[in-house]
Structure 1
Amino acid sequence: MSWRLKRVRQCAKCPWKISADPRDTPNGYSEDQHLALAATIAHPGSLVGTGRAMACHEHQPGDEAHCVGWLMNQLGPGNNIPLRLQVRDCENIGAVMLDGLQHERFEDTLPIAIDEVG
């Protein structure tokens, strides 16, 4: 059975976008919650997944959708092999659209990294 992504366009405030500041997250920013998202990042090339996904902050609890920036990072530079296997039967993965330059690593999405660059 194939599955379908609920969201295929990256949101304007996605922390994976280099141009976005996660402190501008709708409904407020929490550094603790942001740091906890590290648990969704697979070790690149590992056959062991995290079993967790990063949800888009624009969706309410109970109506979650994958974060498009996280998804494409984990399928690309993050080399999340279990996720790659999972999406091979996804009927709309080819419709996913990123918006602008993206961070290569989760650590770069944190405000500390942004402050060091800016």
Structure 2
Amino acid sequence: MAGFAVANERLRVLEELEREIGASLQSAGSVILELSKDKAAERLLERQAAQFSAAVLKVEAELSAQIRYLTQVATGQPHEGSSYAARKGGQMALNRLEYARLRLAELVRACEQLLEP
């Protein structure tokens, strides 16, 4: 159960990061919109730019923490391997088998045509 709690907490943090990224994009959009005006309000620009910078710093710090955590988890446990290669090999063998079956069916039809009077 403790593993689920850690995973849920990590997911919650990532969802919070997603919201923070959205807020930073909104701040950047506000800055761009304000800059497109003939007379930009300097105070608004400074406030929005500060919010954007703070959001970027927060996101960067939290993503770095997430990456450090994932690195520790990945290197702290033995790698169990992947079944992708085996599954792909099995699928390719099935495809070759089907192709051989079709070619044999064509060969049987060709032989039957040759033997017809």
**TM-score, L = length of structure 1:** 0.22
Larger of the two Rg values belongs to structure: 2
Higher helix share: 2
**TM-score, L = length of structure 2:** 0.22
